[in-house]
Structure 1
Amino acid sequence: MANPETRYYSFSKPRPRTRSSGGTTEAKGVEKRKLSQKRRTLPLQLSIGGHLSPWPTYTSGQTILHKRKPCSEDCRKRANSWQQQPLGTSKPRYLEQLENYLRKELLLLDLGTDSAQELRLQPYREIFEFFIQDFKTYKPLLSSIKNAYEVMLAHQREKIRALEPLKAKIITMNEDCSERILAMRAEERYEISQLKKEKMNLLKLIDKKNEEKISLQSEVAKLRKSLAEEYLRYLTERDARKILIGDLNELRYQREDMSLAQSPGVWGEDPVKLTLALKMTRQDLTRTQMELNTMKANFGDMVPRRDFEMLEKTNTDLQEQLESLRADYEEVRKEHELLLQLHMSTLKERDQFHFELQEIQRTSTPRPDWSKCESVIAGGPERWFMLAEGKNSDQLVDVLLEEIGNALLREKDFFPGLGFGDSIPAFLRFDGPVENKKPTKKEVVHLLEDAWKERLAEEQKESFPDFFFNFLERRFGVNDAMAWAYTIFENIKLFRSSEVMRHFYAVLIGKRKESVYVSQKETMSQLLKEMINVDTQKEGLITMEQLSTILKNTFPLKKEEQIQELMETAGWSPDISSTEVLNYRILFTEDEEGQSEPFVQKLWEQYDNEKDAYLKELKQDLGLDQTDEVSLLKMRVALTNIDPSLDKQVLSTYLSQAFQLPVAELPLEEDEKQQEEIVVKLETALDRLRMADTKRVGPPREPEQAS
């Protein structure tokens, strides 16, 4: 068969047809048969002299042909023949008929269905097939182009189908979240109503106590009044008794005188004797009268012992009742004040909880059902249980994001280069696509551990990012160093649950000084060394009591609660005896993915909490807002106040870090004027101290010193 580029073709009108929206294999076969039939009805017709027309560029054909590089003498002859032949201004018939055919086919499509865009491509496919079949010379190239586009379209369709279940799942999760929000709101309304009822009960109790207090006060007033009346009654009785005694004595004297006067033997007595007896009797009377007057003067206001004892007993009982009432009153008063304070604090907590509730309702979502992730995570329920064990919701979100991000990261073959901007780290400055080496998480962890070992082995004068890139060049060569830099950076940015990756990423981007990591590693090494020294039998076992002693000696500034937290993460509980042994080497082990044991994680957590508390105390001592500026002098005084044990070297290191000045350029302590001139924002200074290895050197101030 002759080359289609050197002969004429006739073009027949294509037959109209209908399209189906299906995409099955059978429908595709039918379309191919129709295509072959249409192929037979669409022969090409070339335009001028058996050659392809260069329309619409034929008018400037000479210029174009001069710019093209001829492939042979035959091509030049053909070009000259085109220039010599008269050219018309109309399109080639083959092109016009193809355009008409395409226009009619597009009009026949039903564009109202979901597969309209897919059907719209079919006429273009057929036109392209005509070109492939008729232009034999370019058939391999055109076929490869068509196949490449078809493969890409099929791949995109598969992705769309794969994302359809995810869309339905998102809708379902949205409905579940809405239901949980409504449930939380109902539960919170119920709690608020319960708190209101409890408040009313407390108010009723306070009213009841106040009534009891008033009744007790009235009873005390009545008892005092009755005591005064009883006292007046006893005074009256005392006076009446005195009068009665005087009357009785007078009657007794009269009776004696009458008995003496009536006695017959009195007249027979000796007058001298009687006179003497009378004299002695009068003397006795005078003495008795004097004694009586003395007794009256001394004991006139006295009461009988029986009445005194009765009154004393009554008074004692009343005093006891009064003291008891006073104690009850004082207790009720204190309870009333406590209830008032509790009521005020409850009001504040209620307002705070209400505000937090509104914030939570506005910003947060209900607690998710993590069991749904079992069917999504690779590895099934067993792997998800292993990943989720002992983690809270925030950590589970990180795990889920890591799994999703890892799957997406594994699909990438190339990373886009970030360019050469100043904000781009030096080890990522590259323009163009960068290959994704796709290492496993275990390989990345081992690579980072090797980098840390090399960094700590010798004193490195270069910055950490430069060291990292030079390390990759030494390990993988200059050509692959950039690809590995991008690959490792994307991995450590994704896997935040791995301690090795998290700390390496923080140091690499400048969020944390490498001295922090080095200091913590040295602390853990020292702690392990102390345990090895205590283990005299070299069996890897120590008792819980020995562990507690080692922790207190190694961390003398930690509180008792922090020591107990470390003990509990090591396996101690109140039910375990202090002589129980522990395999201390397990506390410092790491798995293949760089995940350490809870004991080491708790040490890191306490380190961060202690640093935050230290900086918070520093901010309180300064008494400034975040946006205020702090001078070097104020910072020096505040650091000395909150940590009196700071020596000059450590203090200079902290000031150098906070104000970003070399230690040698810091002004002298006596030069207060120059220290006042060096200022920086408090927020910036605290962030810089948070990046470095900032910690308390000695015990905090005593309350007397602080005041």
Structure 2
Amino acid sequence: MRTSASSNVVTRFPKEPLGRLPFQGYQDLAVIFTLVQTKLDPIYKLYRGEEELFYFPLAELPTTSKLDNFADRALSIDPWPAYATERTNTDTQILRVGNRLLAQSKEQSKLKPPPKPRFLILLENKIMRDMKKLGISEDTSDPLRLQLYREIFDRFIEECAYYAPILAKIKDQYEGFIMHLRKKINEMQPIKELLWVASFDADKRVNEFQNRENTEIDFLKSERNRDKFKLDKVQQECVELQVTVSKLMEQLGAREEACSLEADGRKLLVTEVNDINSRLRELEALTRADMGRNTDDPIKLKILVGEYEKALERANTELNRYRSDFEERVPRVKYEEAKKQLEAKTREVDSLNEELESAASRYSLLKDHCETLNTWRDLYNSQILYITRVLAAKSDAAQKVEYINALLFKYRKIAREKTPEQLADFVTHDLAKAEAGGLPSLTRPTVGRNRSKPEGE
């Protein structure tokens, strides 16, 4: 307790001798009692301050130090006020200095903090000195740091007679628990090694898998680039072929126009040629009639294909809209209605797909028929070229008729014996040969030996 220096009342006094009171902690090595008595028991010690008196018990402590580093000084535990943090003072004080009264502020009237005990200061200095001397780091896992604090704690137990048993028990308890933890750590060491090996194997497998994946990815990228290059090359070839075909079509149109003008200018067709032409027209008409029964108009088919594609696109758009609306929460009635509409649209889409496939197949068939007609047209044009060239020659009319009959017989035989692909190739080469000039060589068994060949053969 604390009281004024001029007071004659003791607020609290221990019932037992103060030197025998049990300690409650390291800071309770000295218990503060403020007294105003002038006669003190010899077992107590009075410390006078400027405005306070502190009363401490005298502990029976050794006067010599057991620390090797402090042999030159006597070691004793200084009493430290246990109630130093509970001291209070007025906010202001009035002092008398030279017959004058001086008022101090709140900051000036504060009490100075009590100094640390000398034993605590020596221990802290020893810790700092040993840490610098041995180069101990601030890492708590450093074994030298643990050893240093263990020695300081042992010395503290030796010097504190009252606390030695309980502090020794605390130390033994901590060391026993630390040994238990070390034992557990040693037991878990094989598990740690096993986990490390498993982790290493897993990382190795993952790296191998990643390497394989990277290799496959690189291979696929190279394949994609190669295919892309091939596709670009094919597209370029297609463009070149289209340009070439367009040029050939222009040349063919110009050639046809020239041939028609030449045929109209000559007007040298005879009755046999008219008969041949009529038979060729009948053959062409029969062929067209045969193909017309199984095909439709290509323009109508293209229009139907476009309508089917538009209807399919509309159905897909509406289907996607239904799917996006279905993801939200809607009533059951709307869900059933949307489901019925979706089924109807699905059936409609299936029907459109079937019609589209049928139209595509018909279009493909019509395209094949068109190619066949083009082949027959080229065959007919080549025959017309040859017949026109024969009629323009200066030779006997009977020889011309015989040569034309043999030519027609040859072409009828070729058309009957060759396949459509072979016939198309033959017509292409024959038409080019006919445009280049000249006549084909024929075997004419009915022609006499004394008859001359037509010009240009």
| TM-score using structure 2 length | 0.36
Bigger Cα Rg:
2
Higher relative contact order (CA 8 A, sep 6+): 2
* Structure holding more helix per residue: 1
